[in-house]
């Protein structure tokens, strides 16, 4: 069991995850494509005040920004009106509380997409900001013949503390997975913090129909639905990255993960299998290693194989972290490699017993 689980782990890292090391950097060359940047915001007045200028002041020839103000009861309306007086390319879609079928973010995004003037849509969240003024340019540079979707990296700000490192490593590893699978032609998700696709693709697949009733999934379930073996590109250019403000409390982060993990139940069967085998083989690897130390006489062989896996893991994750400029988390790999799968299992089990209203 130890060697079989090691073999499966080796396949994931050496044959699948290593693909991210060979992702093409498309740079931020001049592109003539006009872009509609879409942001859904609900009670995000403070975030809009600080982060919206990062989007509005992008160095790009032709783009518009559409903010869907989704049933906000703070001062978002006033802040957005003030921005509109300063920026002629900012449009606002307001969703009222009494609006029929106003069920959440997907409804708000749909209204914004419907009024978008341009074919290329670029999505981010109100609590995010692009790290570069060439963000739009860098994302659109990844479009090429036959590509209708571009996946970008949405990371979290560096802060002091263990929780921040845990959140950033979790985000890093999730990106490692969905970038690698996209490179193999089996893209299964993107993140709404940094995602682009063509409007015609949204229309062709009837938007979010089929999962509109699910609270989350405007990014991963939608990509799961519209992607195919050839239409998805990935960019890791340093200018294409967005950053978000991380949760400060462990409880808040777990609530966020509960919401995100629920969508995994609706993935395609092949994606469920591939995403389940890796943590399962990891669990077996650790348990078999511990049992081997107790009952097997070839302890040095076991330790050698154990270290080989860690060296491969450090190498691939380390190089990927360098590419997307994530810092000071690699030393925690031995801890997070065990802790994060355990937390994910806890979240999956707890979701069975916790009602949606408690974590929405």
| CATH code, domain carrying 240 | 3.90.550.10
Asked, for residue 358, whether it belongs to a domain, the answer is no
Q: Are residues 275 and 218 in the same domain?
A: no
Instruction: Say what the alpha-carbon torsion angle 284, 296, 331, 178 is, to the nearest 10 degrees.
Output: -20
- Identify the domain boundary among 196, 219, 248: 248
pLDDT digits (tens, 9 = 90+) for 1-49: 999 999 999 999 999 999 999 888 877 777 779 999 999 999 999 999 9
pLDDT digits (tens, 9 = 90+) for 167-181: 999 999 999 999 999
Q: Are residues 273 and 193 in the same domain?
A: no
Instruction: Say how far apart CA 327 and CA 303 lie, in whole Å.
Output: 28
Q: How many CB atoms lie within 10 A of CB 333?
A: 17
Q: How many domains is the chain built from?
A: 2
What secondary structure letter does DSSP report for 300? H
Asked, for residue 253, whether it belongs to a domain, the answer is no
pLDDT digits (tens, 9 = 90+) for 121-130: 999 999 999 9
Are residues 132 and 194 in contact, defined by beta-carbon separation less than 8 angstroms? Answer: no
Cα 132–chain centre separation: 18
Asked, for residue 264, whether it belongs to a domain, the answer is no
Q: Are residues 243 and 274 in the same domain?
A: no
Instruction: Say how far apart CA 118 and CA 110 lie, in whole Å.
Output: 14
Asked, for residue 258, whether it belongs to a domain, the answer is no
Q: Which tokens sit at 322? A: 């360098």
Asked, for residue 46, whether it belongs to a domain, the answer is yes
What's the domain range around 189? 22-248
pLDDT on residue 358: 43
Q: Are residues 92 and 192 in the same domain?
A: yes
* Interhelix angle 269-295/299-323, nearest 10 degrees: 140
Asked, for residue 238, whether it belongs to a domain, the answer is yes
Only one residue has tokens 């990927």, namely: 320
Q: Are residues 13 and 122 in the same domain?
A: no
Are residues 243 and 155 in contact, defined by beta-carbon separation less than 8 angstroms? Answer: yes
Q: Are residues 232 and 274 in the same domain?
A: no
Asked, for residue 282, whether it belongs to a domain, the answer is yes
């Amino acid at each position: 069991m130890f060697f079989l689980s090691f073999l499966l782990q080796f396949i994931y890292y050496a044959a699948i995850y290593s693909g991210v090391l060979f992702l093409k950097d498309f740079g931020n060359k001049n592109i003539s494509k006009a872009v509609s940047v879409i942001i859904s915001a609900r009670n995000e007045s403070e975030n809009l005040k600080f982060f919206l200028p990062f989007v509005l002041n992008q160095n790009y020839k032709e783009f518009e920004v559409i903010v869907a103000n989704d049933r906000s009861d703070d001062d978002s309306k006033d802040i957005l009106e003030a921005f509109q007086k300063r920026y002629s390319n900012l449009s606002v879609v307001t969703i009222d509380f009494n609006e029929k079928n106003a069920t959440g973010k997907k409804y708000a995004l749909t209204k914004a997409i419907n009024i978008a003037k341009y074919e290329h849509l670029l999505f981010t969240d109100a609590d995010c900001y692009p790290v570069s003024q060439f963000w739009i340019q860098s994302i659109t540079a990844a479009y090429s013949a036959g590509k209708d979707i571009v996946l970008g990296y949405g990371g979290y700000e560096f802060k002091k503390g263990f929780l921040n490192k845990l959140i950033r490593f979790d985000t890093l590893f999730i990106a490692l997975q969905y970038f690698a699978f996209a490179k193999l032609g089996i893209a299964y998700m993107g993140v709404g913090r940094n995602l682009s696709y063509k409007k015609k693709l949204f229309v062709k697949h009837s938007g979010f129909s089929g999962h509109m009733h699910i609270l989350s999934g405007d990014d991963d379930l939608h990509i799961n639905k519209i992607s195919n073996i050839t239409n998805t590109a990935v960019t890791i250019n340093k200018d294409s990255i967005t950053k978000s403000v991380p949760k400060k409390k462990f409880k808040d982060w777990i609530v966020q993960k509960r919401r995100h993990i629920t969508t995994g139940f609706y993935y395609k069967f092949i994606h469920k299998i591939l995403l389940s085998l890796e943590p399962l083989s990891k669990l077996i690897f650790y348990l078999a290693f511990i049992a081997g130390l107790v009952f097997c006489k070839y302890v040095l062989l076991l330790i050698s194989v154990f270290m080989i896996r860690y060296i491969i893991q450090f190498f691939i994750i380390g190089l990927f972290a360098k590419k997307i400029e994530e810092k000071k988390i690699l030393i925690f790999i031995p801890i997070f490699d065990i802790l994060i799968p355990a937390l994910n299992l806890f979240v999956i089990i707890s979701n069975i017993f916790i009602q949606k209203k408690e974590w929405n």
